[in-house]
């Protein structure tokens, strides 16, 4: 793209490229027009200096995210950063800083809310931006307390929480063939696949990135190696990469609850009844003192892999490492 063509295009809009991204490729009709090679940022009284190809251009701006900019430019945008490099860089940073990275890098991103301690993500996000999406998987088998909690969160933060439902015909067929509690004899994989994984896959196909409340201490068998940022191969589409952020990964349960108490964050009343890890009502129970939180999930199964499949990549990573 010639400088004479690029300059009017840039100056036509109040632009902002927000920190931090590493590579930005702008394409039109899937043919590269220009590549911003490792963006270099210099902030001088609201001025942004960007090195584009061989040209130095200074643009005065108001805050917008990268994807909004390229949308205004009539182009599609592919944002890529070195995940390994970012993981290393953000090990010493706070969950809030990782959330800022997520929101600054991706416009089409959403928080996955389970109705448990991951309320911390919504609290943190609300202090960073008012531009965030939240979705929750409604399997049809959640506790009444969880449904009430979802509404409490909606009212407290004045946000929309998109409820994602399974396909009614798939649920109907499962119940018709095997009844309402087949998972007690057949294992939970089939039911979770219909009520959780399939609707999640459908939702994630509309996103470029998602944010989860996973922590390493939640499940020593499957989550002790989770990264702060992942390329989510399990749910990425054809020729598209879904990026997954786990801002709470390095926090433990006590640290999360200290944060919730500090800011008087609403929480699921099931936590007052001994529930730690909260899922569907038939598959979740309170735990006894000194039991690990995941022992309250699918307790009738002997497997140490206590995952429903939403984070199936954890199982794959664990298998490779072992």
Q: Which of 28, 34, 31, 30 is nearest to 57 (CA)?
A: 34
Q: Which of 260, 263, 212 is nearest to 98 (CA)?
A: 212
Helix, strand or coil for residue 255? helix
Token pair for residue 302?
Answer: 């002997």
Burial 82-121 (b: 16+ CB within 10 A, else e): ebeebeeebeeeebeebbbbbbbbbbebbbbbbbbbbbbb
| Neighbour order of strands in the sheet with 43-44 | 43-44, 47-52, 55-60
DSSP for 224-246 reads: TT--SEEE-TTT--TT---EEE-
**Choice among 65, 136, 192, 308 that is catalytic:** 308
Question: Within its chain, how far is the Cα of 188 from the centroid?
Answer: 24
**Cβ count near 295 (within 10 Å):** 15
> Do residues 276 and 252 lie in contact, with contact meaning Cβ atoms separated by under 8 Å?
no
Per the annotation, the verdict on 70 as an active-site residue is no
Residues annotated as part of the active site: 308
């Amino acid at each position: 793209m010639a400088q004479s063509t690029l300059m009017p295009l840039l100056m036509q809009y109040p632009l902002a490229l927000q920190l931090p991204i590493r590579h930005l490729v702008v394409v039109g009709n899937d043919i590269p027009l220009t590549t911003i090679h490792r963006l270099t940022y210099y902030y001088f009284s609201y001025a942004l200096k960007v090195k584009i190809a061989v040209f130095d251009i200074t643009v005065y701006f108001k805050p917008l995210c990268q994807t909004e900019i390229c949308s205004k430019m009539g182009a599609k945008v592919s944002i890529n950063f070195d995940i390994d490099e970012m993981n290393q860089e953000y090990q010493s940073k706070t969950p809030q800083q990782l959330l800022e990275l997520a929101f600054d890098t991706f416009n089409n991103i959403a928080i996955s809310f389970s109705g448990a301690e991951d309320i911390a993500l919504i609290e943190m996000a609300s202090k960073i931006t008012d531009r965030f999406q939240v979705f929750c998987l409604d399997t049809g088998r959640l506790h009444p307390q969880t449904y009430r909690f979802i509404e409490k969160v909606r009212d407290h933060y004045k946000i929309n929480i998109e409820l994602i439902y399974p396909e009614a015909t798939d649920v109907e067929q499962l119940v018709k063939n095997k009844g309402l509690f087949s998972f007690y004899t057949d294992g939970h994989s089939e039911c979770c696949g219909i009520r959780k994984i399939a609707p999640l896959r459908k939702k994630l196909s509309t996103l470029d990135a998602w944010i989860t409340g996973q922590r390493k201490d939640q499940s020593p068998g499957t989550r002790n190696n989770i990264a702060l940022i992942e390329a989510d191969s399990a749910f990425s589409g054809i020729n598209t990469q879904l990026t997954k952020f786990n801002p709470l990964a390095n926090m433990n349960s006590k640290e999360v609850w200290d944060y919730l108490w500090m800011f008087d964050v609403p929480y699921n009343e099931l936590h007052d009844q001994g529930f730690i890890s909260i899922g569907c009502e038939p598959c979740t129970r309170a735990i006894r003192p000194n039991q690990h939180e995941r022992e309250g999930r699918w307790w009738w199964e002997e497997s140490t892999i206590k995952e429903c499949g939403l984070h199936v990549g954890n199982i794959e990573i664990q298998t490779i490492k072992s």
